[in-house]
Chain A
Amino acid sequence: MRLYRALVTAAGLMCAAFGAAHAAQTNVAVAANFTEAAKEIAAAFRQKTGHEAVLSFGASGQFYTQITQGAPFQVLLSADGARPKKLVEDGLAVPDSRFTYAIGKLVLWSKSPGVVKGVETLRAASFAKLSICNPGAAPYGAAAVETMRALNLYETLQPKLVEGATITQAYQFVETGNAEVGFVALSQLRGSDAGSRWIVPQDLYSPIRQDAVLLKGGAGNEAASAFIGFLRGPESRSIIEKYGYMLDGQS
């Protein structure tokens, strides 16, 4: 009897071990603005497929440089379309895997209510510091500069700009009160009505088309392909929309 129970237990353990071996892991580089949404998607992904997506967050430009130097990522969720495209051209990504998973929204935000009222807040410029993220490395930074140029305010606002290395840092500068206002991603403000905000009209900057791409290192990885597939699926799409992004094909 005892032997029988031991055998059943052993068989059970073997099944469990087999199941675990079947679940794979993939390393995903995620643009900082997509941090919260990506965490939720990764959790849903694991629940559904058993695969694990290990997420790294940073600036898209930083990831691009790292990937060209052989960084061990299998999937890139960029904040722009240019870098995934370049990776395909460089032969570092799988060509037909590239697609727009989200379209980002730029917001002018302040921690205090009543500070940001609209475009007139930028015109009046009655603040000491305006935080943005590095326009050379992060698309939301480039979009912020484009917006200020479109409004003919870049020259006047430039002395007040402070730069974070990523959109997360630009957000932190406002959050800690060191900058009164900042251009951040709408997705970062999700779940909070605190402070005051102005959603920048789309005609002031080119759409922030955020592309995902399967990297060459992930071509044979089951979890990596599954993650890209899951990102296109309805569960992911509803999470992405919930975080304030638009989806491709909508406008």
Chain B
Amino acid sequence: MNVWSAEIWQAVALTLELAAVTTATLLVIGTPLAWWLARGKGWWTEIIATVVALPLVLPPTVLGFYLLVLLGPDGPGGWIASLWGRRTLAFTFEGLIIGSVIYSMPFVVQPIRNAFTAMGERPLEVAATLRASPWHAFWTVAVPLARPGFLTGAVLGFAHTVGEFGLVLMIGGNIPGRTKVLSVAIFDYVEASRWREASLLAGGMVIFAFAVILTMTLIDRRSARTAS
């Protein structure tokens, strides 16, 4: 029996797709948020920063429970879904993206915010004296300087989405090709006593996690060297 069945490939492809879309979305909405958080002075800045960081501490079941209700026909998700003639955003790929964006947000926003903070005001002031518009300065000065933060954020956000389990289990409905991601597939195989498939996927995840953390360390080292 070939364990590398279509079922497994489907779960791998779906997981990578979910992680890629989530990371891209997070870079788009996380960058202005991180910028604002890095430069904000008011007390509310820390309130928002705390809200963004909540998924670090909350068990996935808390988010899963809220999302199941909020995405459902009686919540805002159901209203959005009705625009496409559907009843609920639960059990959909879009629903998983919403969940993953919330769940992985601190992993992307935090490193970018730190990079912006570490940069300080000085480079932008210099850019301003050279008559760079704030928009121009942001793209040509701030973003390149914060590059290691973006890299770290993207890698962590991607990896954390790949490793997501409890949330997907609660709002996904285990639909092959749409919501059955790797972690859920592993859970399924273990429950059904199909240990060959389970150990194959679990081993793959260990190698993936190892590669991610190693990559992170190398990024850190390289940016430390460039800085010095």
Contacts and interface: CB of A to CB of B under 8 A. Distances in A.
Interface string B179-198: 00000000110111100000
B173 A131 contact: yes
B117 interface: no
B172 to A, nearest CB: 8
A162 B192 contact: no
Interface in A124-176: 128-129, 131, 134, 136-137, 161-165, 169, 172-173, 176
Nearest to B194: A136
Contact of A163 (B71, B73, B88, B175): B175
Contacts of A169: 170
A20 to B, nearest CB: 34
At the interface, is chain B mostly helix, strand, loop or mixed?
loop
Interface residues of A, number: 24
B193 A61 contact: yes
Contacts of B169: 165
Contacts of B188: 134, 136-137
Nearest to B86: A128
A61 B173 contact: no
B68 A163 contact: no
A136 B187 contact: no
Contact of B72 (A64, A162, A163, A178): A178
B71 A178 contact: yes
A177 B73 CA distance: 6
A45 B174 CA distance: 37
A60 to B, nearest CB: 9
Contacts of A161: 175
A40 B31 CA distance: 54
A172 B68 CA distance: 9
B43 to A, nearest CB: 37
A163 B173 contact: yes
A155 B203 CA distance: 34
Interface in B157-213: 169-170, 173-175, 187-188, 190-193
Interface centre among A59, A65, A131 (most CB of B within 10 A): A65
A180 interface: yes
Contacts of B86: 128
B68 A162 contact: no
Contacts of B90: 173, 176, 178
A62 interface: yes
A128 B86 CA distance: 8
A4 B88 CA distance: 72
Contacts of B88: 128-129, 177-179
B91 interface: yes
Contact of A61 (B72, B175, B192): B192
Contacts of A59: 191
Contacts of B73: 177-178
A177 B78 CA distance: 10
Contact of A134 (B71, B78, B174): B174
A178 B193 contact: no
A178 B68 contact: yes
Contacts of A64: 193
The 8 closest A-B pairs by CB, nearest first: A162-B173, A163-B174, A136-B192, A137-B191, A61-B191, A178-B90, A177-B73, A178-B72
Given A65-B191, A134-B192, 15 more contacts: A62-B190, A128-B86, A129-B87, A129-B88, A136-B192, A162-B175, A164-B174, A165-B169, A165-B187, A169-B170, A176-B90, A177-B88, A178-B68, A178-B71, A178-B87
5 contacts: A59-B191, A164-B174, A165-B191, A173-B173, A178-B90
